[in-house]
Structure 1
Amino acid sequence: MTEERTVPVPSSLMTLSGRLGRAVARASDIAMALAVLIAAGQYTEDYDLLLGSLMGLCLLARRRYPGTVMAAVMVLSVVQFVLDDRPETPLASSPAAYNVAVLFALMSVIHHSRTTWMPYLAGGSVLLAVLAGTMEVPLLGIKPFVDSGTLLTFWGLTLTVWLTAFALHTRRLYAESQADRALHIQREQEQRVRLAAARERADIARELHDVVAHSLAVMILQADGAESVLRKSPDMAQSALKTIAATGRDAIDDMHRIVRVLREGNQDSADSGPPRRLITLDEIKVVAERAQAAGLTVDVSVEVGEGRLAPAEEMTAFRIVQECLTNVLRHAGAGAGVDIRLHEERGTLLISVVDDGAGTLAGRGVGGSGGNGLVGMRERVELAGGTFEAGPRLGSGWHVRASIPTRTK
């Protein structure tokens, strides 16, 4: 069972997207522009409405070009100040309520700028611009329009807006990162599930091949032998039939276990039926005896201390020997000699299976598996962290050698 990790997914209000998100964004832009325009309409100077309208129009592009919009609004504010400071009749009011467009543009830079330094530059520019309003330049005829009290008020308002917008921006980035993380973890979980399913299918395919191929090879050869000696030697025929029955029963038990795994998905669950039959190295002698009954000459040597191998290692060793005997029965047939050697050396289980290829079916066989047996053996050994080698011998026959690192139980 794959452990599931949960990541807090941000509120939908923080991560509006798609058509609804675009509609809300456009509505907020229009609302800001209208607020600036309405504020400008409260003043009676000649250029107040024009300047306010231009500032409002700039705000409509604040998401796409935040830096440019900030610069444009600041320039319009400077023009507003210059028009208000004319020695004759002022043409604009300064400061005015529609200067709130500067704060809106500042918020836009903080929220939508793609560089880390732009929010600080924008905030500093506003503070310096307000500070400049307290200065007097007699040569240019510029008089201050902001006193110290108004300066502190404007600075406080600017800093409040800047900090609030920066906090909301940080929260939005955190929400997006959490959403991305949740999506990434979900994809990882799905990938792990797919990989686990692929490994399980490969394991089941190997088990099916080992059970069916070996059992059927033994049963076919035993049935052929029983048929040929049925009238001449009923006792030998009866022995062959008993071997066929025992092999078939074991194969059916293994098939039931595999089918139960396919149906229930967990062969170790408490309610999955009878427990799985534990396969040990002792089973090698059983399959060797059945192979001898099928006509092979089998010499087995197992030099592994009791309790030295883990169950998975014993299962791997047994399946390799079983597949080797299956291949000898299939491709060499009765009369072939097989030498099986298993021994442990310096924490490594060494497996050697060699046949002489001298069987009566050499060259024609009883049906092949298209090389799946060798592939399955190699996969088993590699999964155990070992090495595998197989190939023809000089002269005739075949050899299989494998080494598997052992973990003492």
Structure 2
Amino acid sequence: MTGLLTARPLPARSKAFDLLFAGALVVSAGFLGLAQARWGGLLGLAMLGPLIWRRTHPELVFFAVSSVAVLQWLGGVDLQPGNVGLIVALYAISVYGDVRLSRIALGVGGLGVLMATSRYWSNSDWRQQVTMMVALGALVFGVWAFGERRRTRALYVVQLEERAVQAERDRDRESKLAVSAERTRIAREIHDVVAHGLSIMIVQADGGLYAADQSPEAAKKALATIGDTGRASLTEMRKMLGLLKQEEQRELDPNQPRPQPGVSSLPELIDNVRDAGLSVDYQVTGAPRDLPALLGLTAYRIVQEGLTNTLKHAGPGAHTSVTLDFGREMLTVVVTDDGRGGGVAPSTEPGHGLVGMHQRASVSGGTVNAGPKAGGGYEVIAKLPYHLPNGGQQ
């Protein structure tokens, strides 16, 4: 059973390092022992060779090296430079191996200390034996404890990485849910707008039918109104179908019909916000014009969201201004505050309200830019064209 760290793919650079490390030990300690004693040198090489796989198979490496050490003890072979492989294998299993097997390896190391003391220092003074036992035991335990500490830190880093990945997934999922919810809300509003347009067409058609004989001009005017209203409603439906493409169809609540606000409803909205304690200046520049229902609703919602964000984040004492600029080609909506109240700093990540602004503006072929101002405060600028990029009416 391997540990969590060995379950992760080992980089090619780490594999090359393990090969060079084991090769260096074989060349230095292994061949040095082989020069001193042929049989003991071979055992030393056998304890150093498996270290190539010390990170990928730490349990098997420790078992193999320990088995060779037992053969060395049974054969009465003196300690060799290759015995350093025992320390390296113990460190490897404490860092990369299974936790339970790592503790068993510590016990095996302690038993090895007793066996080595009884064999290689059996003729020494008891004080020397105790000294060697304590020194070897401290070495074994110290190596194992250092490996455990490194394992703990490495696992902590792995957990942080996994949490970061999960947090990113959660942000993506929340963003998608926010977009889906906003699209559903827009679909319901478009439903009301289109239903209103169809109601006008029906009324005009009935009126034109009755007036056809007595007043042909009135009938023509009714037919023209029907054509204009139908084209506008069809354009809105096409935009909505493009926006909600690949989205699941959701049932609309027939019990919630309501007139949708537009730019004419902004004074009432601003008065309500002023009643809530926010200082707001409202001005209109350019020549006001009648706007399609969808475009007016988009402008209203953007102003509403901008004022809501100011109430939430600008802090007490903040001053806000709302400007509608009726240009030749587009309507520009600006919501800005000075943030004098020292409110909460704007987040570095877009919230659901900002996502909704972008979605609404994109339906009308417009854009929204929002962010902190250089001198303090926050600013939202929306540019909403009167005509779609393909030349159609909104």
**Length-normalised TM-score, structure 2:** 0.52
Question: Contact conserved, 1:37 with 1:98, CA < 8 A, in 2?
Answer: no
When residues 238 and 46 of structure 1 are mapped into structure 2, their CA distance, relative to the original with a 3 A threshold, is closer
> Is residue 128 of structure 1 aligned with residue 111 of structure 2?
yes
5 Å-filtered alignment, 1:73-152, equals 73-83=65-75, 85=76, 92-94=77-79, 96-114=80-98, 116-135=99-118, 143=122, 147-152=129-134
Which amino acid in structure 2 is aligned with residue 68 of structure 1?
A: L
| TM-fit CA distance, 1:203 | 1.2
When residues 62 and 274 of structure 1 are mapped into structure 2, their CA distance, relative to the original with a 3 A threshold, is closer
When residues 168 and 28 of structure 1 are mapped into structure 2, their CA distance, relative to the original with a 3 A threshold, is same
> Is residue 211 of structure 1 aligned with residue 193 of structure 2?
yes
Q: Which has the larger radius of gyration?
A: 1
Work out which of the residue numbers 301, 305, 316 in structure 2 matches 1:268.
Answer: 305
Give the distance between the partners of 2:200 and 2:20, measured in 1 at CA: 83
5 Å-filtered alignment, 1:5-404, equals 21-43=11-33, 44-83=36-75, 85=76, 92-94=77-79, 96-114=80-98, 116-135=99-118, 143=122, 147-229=129-211, 232=214, 252-259=291-298, 268-269=305-306
Give the distance between the partners of 1:169 and 1:267, measured in 2 at CA: 53
Long gaps (5+) in structure 1 = 1-13, 86-91, 276-409
- Deviation per CA, 1:144-168, whole angstroms, max 9, x where unpaired? 6882222222122212211111111
Question: Contact conserved, 1:37 with 1:56, CA < 8 A, in 2?
Answer: no
Which amino acid in structure 1 is aligned with residue 32 of structure 2?
A: Q
- Deviation per CA, 1:43-66, whole angstroms, max 9, x where unpaired? 311223311221122222323332
Which residue number corresponds to residue 251 of structure 2? none
| TM-fit CA distance, 1:235 | 12
When residues 68 and 18 of structure 1 are mapped into structure 2, their CA distance, relative to the original with a 3 A threshold, is closer
Q: What SS is found at the alignment partner of 1:93? A: coil
| TM-fit CA distance, 1:172 | 0.7
Give the distance between the partners of 1:149 and 1:212, measured in 2 at CA: 93
Question: Contact conserved, 2:190 with 2:294, CA < 8 A, in 1?
Answer: yes
> Which has a greater percent of helix?
2
| TM-fit CA distance, 1:252 | 4.4
- Percent identical residues: 28
| TM-fit CA distance, 1:273 | 5.7
Give the distance between the partners of 2:94 and 2:102, measured in 1 at CA: 5
Which residue number corresponds to residue 309 of structure 1? none
Give the distance between the partners of 1:82 and 1:211, measured in 2 at CA: 93
When residues 200 and 218 of structure 1 are mapped into structure 2, their CA distance, relative to the original with a 3 A threshold, is same
Give the distance between the partners of 2:172 and 2:140, measured in 1 at CA: 48
Long gaps (5+) in structure 2 = 233-261, 263-289, 307-321, 324-330, 335-394
- Deviation per CA, 1:23-70, whole angstroms, max 9, x where unpaired? 223422441343144213223112233112211222223233322221
Give the distance between the partners of 2:27 and 2:14, measured in 1 at CA: 20
**Length-normalised TM-score, structure 1:** 0.50
- Deviation per CA, 1:358-402, whole angstroms, max 9, x where unpaired? xxxxxxxxxxxxxxxxxxxxxxxxxxxxxxxxxxxxxxxxxxxxx
Number of aligned residue pairs: give it.
246
Which amino acid in structure 2 is aligned with residue 182 of structure 1?
A: A
Give the distance between the partners of 1:144 and 1:192, measured in 2 at CA: 73
Which amino acid in structure 1 is aligned with residue 58 of structure 2?
A: P
CA RMSD of aligned residues (A): 4.2
When residues 18 and 162 of structure 1 are mapped into structure 2, their CA distance, relative to the original with a 3 A threshold, is closer
